[in-house]
Amino acid sequence: MKALVVDDDLALADVVSFTLRKAGFEVIMAHDGQVALDRWRTESPDLIILDLNLPKLDGFGVCRQIRAQDDTPIIILSVRGEEDDIVTGLKLGADDYIVKPFSPRQMVARVEAVLRRVGDVHPSPGNLTVGDITLDLSRCKVSCSQQLIAKLTPLECRLLEILMMNRDQVVLADALIDQVWGPQGGDKDMLKQLVYRLRHKIEICPSRLMYIETVSGVGYSLIFTSENK
């Protein structure tokens, strides 16, 4: 169980994370809204404890952006007397709130209640859509306007995900290798292979909606043809 604690008050964040660790959580921290989103994307925590007053990007913004993508449980931290903020937060999709000051015991109770309620289910990583084309990241399926086009293998799916996120840009071969296989895991031949297989699954779809362009000696780039965005 991994929890992300977001608070710019370092002392408080420390108390919170200490308590959570004692309750068996792995804890990561962020002290402003931007970093919070980064951490959320890279670490995909099971739970987020979110203060509303934050530098850079406030708690509402963080909440909104996260809810736009998935259902990671969010518990809002708010100071007494700002009931309106709580209401706003809940409207944005937060799952529960805790009013400062609070006792550690109470906090753990709330956290566990939320996890029980939400069902502990690590929500599927969501979908990635460009134009008509959607990649279902958890099922590794590509579809074009709700029509299934191809079922990918996990590696193919990772590769396509990266290419889609950088569409029309050339992604360096080394960068692809790192992102697909991890820092020490791949080589150019494996990438070549993978690109080959991915191509044959997605380029043969109805009238070439997208294709993978090779930039010799550099990398690859995903190109969408019938753009109607």
Partner DNA sequence: AATATTTGTAACCGACTTATAACCGCTTTA
Partner DNA sequence: TAAAGCGGTTATAAGTCGGTTACAAATATT
Q: Which residue ranges make up the site for DNA (CB under 7 A)?
A: 151, 153-156, 173, 181, 185-190, 192-197, 199-200, 214, 216-218
Partner from DNA, a second copy, none contacting 112, C-beta within 5 to 8 A by type:
none
**Residue 190 class from Cβ within 10 Å (0-12 exposed, 13-18 middle, 19+ buried)?**
middle
Q: How far is the CB of 217 from a second copy (least distance, A)?
A: 6
Q: Which is nearer to a second copy, 92 or 202 (CB)?
A: 92
Contacts to a second copy by CB under 8 A: 11, 14-15, 18-19, 71, 80, 83-84, 86-87, 90-91, 93-97, 101-106, 113-114, 117-124, 138-140, 154, 162, 165-166, 169-172, 174-175, 178-179, 213, 215-218, 221
**Rounded distance, CA 171 to CA 160, Å?**
12
Task: Please state the closest distance from residue 137 (CB atom) to DNA, in A.
Answer: 14
Task: List Cβ<8 Å contacts ≥24 apart for 113-120.
Answer: 114/47, 114/73, 114/75, 115/1, 115/46, 115/47, 115/73, 118/71, 118/73, 120/46
| Residue 172: CB minimum distance to DNA, A | 10
CA–CA dist 72, 132 (Å, integer)? 26
Of 127 and 221, CB closest to DNA: 221
Provide the edge-to-edge strand list for the sheet that holds 141-144. 127-130, 133-136, 141-144, 147-151
Task: Note the Cα 128 to chain centre separation in Å.
Answer: 11
CB of 132 to a second copy, least distance (A): 20
- E-strand stretches of the chain: 2-6, 26-30, 47-51, 74-79, 96-100, 127-130, 133-136, 141-144, 147-151, 171-172, 210-215, 219-224
- The distance of closest approach from Cβ of residue 208 to a second copy in the complex, given in angstroms and rounded to an integer, is 17
Neighbouring-strand partners of residue 135: 128, 142
Q: Which residue, 103 or 206, is less far from a second copy as judged by CB?
A: 103
Q: Which does 14 bind (CB under 5 to 8 A by kind): DNA, a second copy, none?
A: a second copy
Q: Which is nearer to a second copy, 36 or 163 (CB)?
A: 163
Out of a second copy, DNA, none, which partner does residue 15 contact, by CB within 5 to 8 A per kind?
a second copy
> Closest CB to a second copy among 27 and 140?
140
